[in-house]
Structure 1
Amino acid sequence: MERHWNRRTSTLLFLVLAVLILAGITAAGIFLEEEAAVTDFSRTNLAPGGAFWFGTDWMGRDMFTRTIAGLSLSIRIGLLTAAVSAAAALALGTAAATLGRRADSVISWCIDLVMGIPHILLVMLISIACGRGFVGVVAGVSLSHWPSLARVIRGEVLQLKGAPYILVAEKLGVSKLKVACRHMLPHLFPQFLTGLILLFPHAILHEASVTFLGFGLSSEQPAIGVILSESMQYLTTGRWWLALFPGLSLVLVVVLFALLGERVRYLLDPASVHE
């Protein structure tokens, strides 16, 4: 038993547990969206207790259901935006390293340009240009988080171009597209998957930040950014639970995603097989 219970096994168990927790939060939030909007003025401003774990707000809404619904919405937006950003990074990073110097110069210039602008400012500008709301937030986060991963993939592809089997394939007349799809993409999968997962916490935090500042999701949606923004005006009256529990829950989800990415990178490392 001790022989088979190694670090790799414990890491795999952590991955399964983390995925189940995040999937459970996402599914529960979808089912609780309607309940999160229910108001009851007979139970307004109740402190956390047995009946309401996270208390209630000034409209009598259950803060626990609102927090779960908000986390679910943030996770779904994070999944969508991270997937779009990672796909763009894979395509542009591969193109920069395989389509010649001119394409490399143009894409590298775009990477430097986007990375030179603060993320939160760029997300806000794109969100405003796209009309804010769900579409604006998704567009803003998706179009601002691809450069770092694209640069990593570009470096990996440049190293792969010198591999013997790649050089042989090129001398045999295999097209650049086929070389990239058949020989390079399988080697890029570990970096792509790790980068995809590590994009989640950045996407979730920037979505919440932009929404908190009023440039993201509308106030009708039970987003964490909306909850935190609305609770600010009530903190001075002693209703600390309105911001504490939603904010703490958001931080825990972000940390869980970050740990998930680190564990995936460890599992995909060939050296971890012997640990």
Structure 2
Amino acid sequence: MRNLRHRPHSLIGAIVVLTVIAVYALAVPMLTGTNPGLTDFAAAYQPPSGSHWFGTDLAGRDLFVRTAAGLRVSLVIAAVCAVASAAVGVAVGVTAGALGGWIDRIVMRLVDGINALPHLLLGIVVVALYPGNLVAIVASIALTHWTQVARIARAEVRAARSATYLEAARLSGATRTRIAITHLVPAAAGQGIVAVILLLPHAIWHESTLSFLGLGLPPDQASVGTLLQDARAAVLTGAWWTLLFPAAALIVTTLAVAVVGAAVDHRITPPLPERAIR
């Protein structure tokens, strides 16, 4: 991934792929006019053809439309989780870095404690209390992925606290709150943007995993995870297309987002010598 982010052709290709995926996920269910939940058991397990490009599933539903609808749901959930997780991480990191002292030590020990817990296991516990609840799914992902963002935001804030412009702001009589809002939050905002992009693949995979385990969205709701859950039994009957196309959509999406995120991280985060000089 470090090599890909330095290659402009790879970055352009990833952006084009993401654009195609976004258009596919948003436009296909509307343009085709096909209900992704419409069943036709007489057409069950039909292989890919001119009438059904991705084939059909066990209920005769068109997988081309259903994969687009599922990808759209997974992307929306992942985006909400990534934004919420990045917001919590930046808020906690800025608070710890700005206040310092015993508050910083307590917050970082809390971060260490959460990091010691398996994220997937903690997410399963949260979702198991409210199975099929969309808010519980978002909370289970957002509340387990903010710790790394908090560490990075805290490091940026601690580096900014020693800058000369911050000392000048203190000498001019600026309050601690004003300094935090005016200088420290913008110092960590760039890392928050990077975190949102880089957390998207993690959020997509976690939502898919929870739905695959039967703890996420209900089976009748199309998402990448529920499609993969349906494909688990279908593959044993020879319906390989029920696994291939949803899995390919998941893998291609996460790889494209990872490449774009790595490139943005490289542009926002300066190299170590520059950071030392700054």
| TM-score, shorter chain, exceeding 0.5 | yes
Give the whole-Å Cα distance in 1 for the aligned partners of 2:43 and 2:97.
61
1:1-275 aligned at under 5 Å gives the runs 13-14=12-13, 16-28=15-27, 31=30, 35-268=35-268
Aligned residue-pair number:
265
CA apart distance, 1:267: 3.3
The unaligned stretches of length 5 or more in structure 2 are 1-5, 272-278
CA apart distance, 1:22: 4.2
Superposed CA deviations along residues 173-192 of structure 1, whole A, max 9, x for unmatched, are 21222112211233323222
Give the whole-Å Cα distance in 1 for the aligned partners of 2:265 and 2:208.
26
Give the whole-Å Cα distance in 1 for the aligned partners of 2:85 and 2:33.
27
Q: Which moved more, 1:141-150 or 1:228-237?
A: 228-237
CA apart distance, 1:18: 4.6
Give the whole-Å Cα distance in 1 for the aligned partners of 2:62 and 2:251.
20
CA apart distance, 1:102: 2.1
Q: TM-score, normalised by structure 2?
A: 0.87
Distance verdict in 2 for CA 1:48–1:26, change over 3 Å: closer
CA apart distance, 1:12: 7.1
CA apart distance, 1:136: 1.3
**Secondary structure at 1:36 match in 2:** coil
- 1:28 maps to a residue whose letter is A
The unaligned stretches of length 5 or more in structure 1 are 1-6
Q: Which has the higher contact order (CA 8 A, sep 6+)?
A: 2
Distance verdict in 2 for CA 1:169–1:28, change over 3 Å: same
* Same amino acid, percent of matched pairs: 33
CA apart distance, 1:13: 4.4
Give the whole-Å Cα distance in 2 for the aligned partners of 1:61 and 1:148.
40
Q: TM-score, normalised by structure 1?
A: 0.88
CA apart distance, 1:217: 1.0
